[in-house]
Amino acid sequence: MSIASIRILPPAPTPARKGASKCGVCNRATARRKPFCKDHILRLPYPASVRRDLDSAQADQHRVNTGGVLAADILTVVRHQGPCTVGRLRRLLHLPHTVAAKYVRALVLEGTLRTRRVRGEHSTMVSMA
Ligand SMILES: [Zn+2]
């Protein structure tokens, strides 16, 4: 094959942008065709369920929903990353420390997780039970 026979293909055309999406609540245009704008993003199913879990965790100091999405997210992190501290869980999942600690405690009571104090550090290591 000679150099002259090599054809340089033009870049594939960018697919035409379909009409921008509008927020289902306020009808403003949304970024990346999301169904809600940033002010109404909590209407999406996942953020809405996280919000419900956070609200119920804050409303009732002693009850957490160990069958909810926050508990499932905590278990996913521990399963995939291995043992980690409550602080790391909190940072990875963007949770207030009290909420992360409360969920870990509930999951320990339930027998799903176990914790141990890290010697010489003021942190608690969390792992699967
Ligand atoms: Zn909106």
Q: Look at residue 68 and tell me if it is in a domain.
A: yes
Q: Which helix (H) or strand (E) holds 73?
A: helix 69-81
Tell me what pLDDT residue 12 has. 54
pTM of the model: 0.56
Range of the domain at 100: 64-129
Which candidate, 47, 106, 113, 110, places its Cα nearest to that of 75? 113
How do residues 78-101 score in pLDDT, each as one tens digit? 999 999 999 999 999 999 888 899
**Which among 13-27, 48-62, 97-111 has the top mean pLDDT?**
97-111
Please tell me the distance between residue 28's alpha carbon and the centre of ligand 1 in angstroms.
Answer: 6
Average pLDDT of the chain to the nearest whole number:
82
15 CA → ligand 1 middle, Å: 26
128 pairs with which residues across the strands? 113
- Number of domains present in the structure of the chain: 2
Of 59, 88, 112, which residue constitutes the final position of a domain? Answer: 59
For residue 92, give the CATH number of its domain.
1.10.10.10
17 CA → ligand 1 middle, Å:
21
Would you say residue 2 lies in a domain?
A: no
Task: Give me ligand 1 centre to Cα 79, in Å.
Answer: 36
